[in-house]
Amino acid sequence: MNDTATDTVTDTPDLDALVDGYLAGWNATDPAERTAIVERVWSPDARMSDPLVDVTGHEALVGVFALFHATYPGCTFRRAGAHDAHHDLVRWGWEMIDANGAVVLDGIDVAVVSADGRLHRVAGFFGATIPA
């Protein structure tokens, strides 16, 4: 094992702010705000995939976030707990909340952070744990 085994992502912006920015992109209902968040938080060639989508680039990301609001009106996302990071990787738990405040879905996202501190790749998984 080498000395870098315990290194964390240190040359990126605040990872809490990055994760919160990611969630803000999902939660933004104003198209201009959503686009600005995506441009700030995501690399231009970023890719996001989860069980329902696999998209690349700012325009596609903005479209997915808009489709979320059309499909699940009144729903939002919030972080569940802290983030965990090492090297250029970060992961966090999340919850999807309905308009009444009930958790309707949870999961974990794992991301690769680019050299410029933005998200380059996010893989989302539904469910906070792996089913047996």
Q: Which residues contact 67 (CB under 8 A, 6 or more apart)?
A: none
CATH fold for domain 12-126: Nuclear Transport Factor 2; Chain: A, (3.10.450)
pLDDT 10s digits, 65-96? 999 999 999 999 999 999 999 999 999 999 99
Q: Which residue ranges make up each domain of the chain?
A: 12-126
- What is the CA angle 85-39-96, rounded to 5? 60
**H or E segment to which residue 95 belongs:** strand 89-97
For 2-24, the pLDDT digits (tens) are: 444 344 444 445 899 999 999 99
